[in-house]
């Protein structure tokens, strides 16, 4: 079945630095990927839709200059958290549609801690 690989699984960074998170579709091509953020004990909030070969579409309230998304190939999307601050600490998860099941396949997530 469709597998989405995400890494790193955990990252601790200093305030002011940037962190890149990668999401790869391993056995299928994903022209579109989705990036979510999840705070403890809360639901998943859609941040942006990553489109292969074109600009990402950001949800209202998400700063595009802070959360840079690149989808340069059909199997790779990256999210870069720029100038990270402690309030950016969260669980970031990517997903892609699974044409076989009709559902979405999620990466294993990246737990970002900014100190």
Spacing of C-alpha 39 from chain mean position: 14
Q: By CB under 8 A, which span of 20-28, 61-69, 73-81, 92-100 interacts with another protein?
A: 92-100
CB of 28 or CB of 104, closer to another protein: 104
Tell me how far apart the alpha carbons of residues 66 and 29 are, in angstroms, rounded to a whole number. 27
Q: Is residue 12 a contact point for another protein (CB under 8 A)?
A: no
The only residue of 30, 93, 112, 114 in contact with another protein, by rule CB under 8 A: 93
Q: What is the largest CA-CA distance in the chain?
A: 41
Least distance (Å) between residue 20 CB and another protein: 19
Spacing of C-alpha 40 from chain mean position: 17
The only residue of 44, 62, 68, 76 in contact with another protein, by rule CB under 8 A: 44
How many residues touch another protein under the rule CB under 8 A: the total is 20
Q: Is residue 28 a contact point for another protein (CB under 8 A)?
A: no
The only residue of 13, 28, 52, 106 in contact with another protein, by rule CB under 8 A: 106
**CB-CB contact of 22 with 7 (8 Å):** yes
Per the listing, tokens 């990668």 go with 22
| Cβ neighbourhood burial of 67 (10 Å; 0-12, 13-18, 19+) | buried
Q: What is the binding site for another protein (CB under 8 A)? A: 34, 41-46, 49, 93, 95, 98, 101-109
């Amino acid at each position: 079945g469709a597998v989405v690989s995400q890494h790193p699984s955990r990252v601790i960074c200093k305030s002011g630095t940037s962190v890149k998170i990668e999401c790869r579709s391993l056995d299928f091509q994903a022209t579109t990927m989705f990036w979510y953020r999840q705070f403890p004990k809360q639901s998943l909030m859609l941040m942006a839709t990553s489109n292969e070969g074109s600009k990402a579409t950001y949800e209202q309230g998400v700063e595009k200059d802070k959360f840079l998304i690149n989808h340069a190939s059909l199997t790779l999307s990256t999210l870069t958290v720029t100038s990270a601050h402690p309030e950016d600490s969260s669980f970031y998860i990517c997903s892609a549609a699974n044409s076989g099941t009709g559902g979405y396949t999620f990466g294993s997530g990246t737990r970002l801690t900014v100190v």
